[in-house]
Amino acid sequence: MNNETRKTPSERNQPLTASRSALQSVSEYVAAMTAGDSVQMQALRTPDYALDFVFRDASEGEPSVGDEAQAFWPAWFAGFPEVDYEVTRTIASEAIVVTQWTFTGTHSGPIDPPIFEKRVEPTGRTIRFRGVTVYDMSGGKIQREAVYMDLATLMVELEVAL
C-alpha cells in the first residue's frame, strides 16, 4: 500500500502547504530571501501576512500589513542586491519558528520607502548586523514575521536617521 492510499480523502485533497512543516516553509522562505526572490517569499505567506519590525514600537506601534508589507522586501533587495543572510540558530515548533541570523550586504542600490521615509542613495558600504525573527505560522505559511534587529548598527552604517 503506498502512502497516498493510506491518507484519508480529506488529507489527499489538502493543498501542499497544509502538509508542509513550519520549519520547511521557513527554510524555503529564508532561501528565497537569500536569493532576493520576493515572488517566492510572497507565495510562502498567508493573505493576511504582517511584517512587524519591533523597533517601530517606539514610534508607530503597528506592524506593516497589505501593500506596505508586500513592498518591504523588494525595496530591501533593490538596496542590497547581493547579500549573505546566515541563519545561525533555529528553534521550531508546529506553529512558530525562531531564527537567529547575521545579515551582510553591500549597499549598492537606492533604498526607497517603506524602509525609510526618504530614499537613501547607495553608499557602497558593506554592512553587517544581527537579529532574530519570529515566524508565526498558519496552514504551512507565514502569517506574521516579527523582526528584532540591530537597527543602531544599520543606521550608523547607512548614515540615516528615523
State the pTM of this model: 0.81
CA dist., res. 56 & res. 63, Å (int)? 8
CATH number of the domain residue 104 falls in: 3.10.450.50
Looking at the 3D structure of the chain, how many domains does it have?
1
Using one digit for the tens of pLDDT, what is the confidence trace for 103-121? 999 999 999 888 888 899 9
- DSSP at 108: -
- Domain ranges, residue 63: 3-158
Quick one: pLDDT band at residue 56, thresholds 50, 70, 90?
low
Q: Which helix (H) or strand (E) element contains residue 52?
A: strand 45-53
Buried b (16+ CB within 10 A) or exposed e, 95-120: eebbbebebebbbebebbeebbeeeb
CA dist., res. 60 & res. 71, Å (int)? 18
**Rounded mean pLDDT of the chain?**
84
Using one digit for the tens of pLDDT, what is the confidence trace for 25-47? 999 999 999 999 999 999 999 99
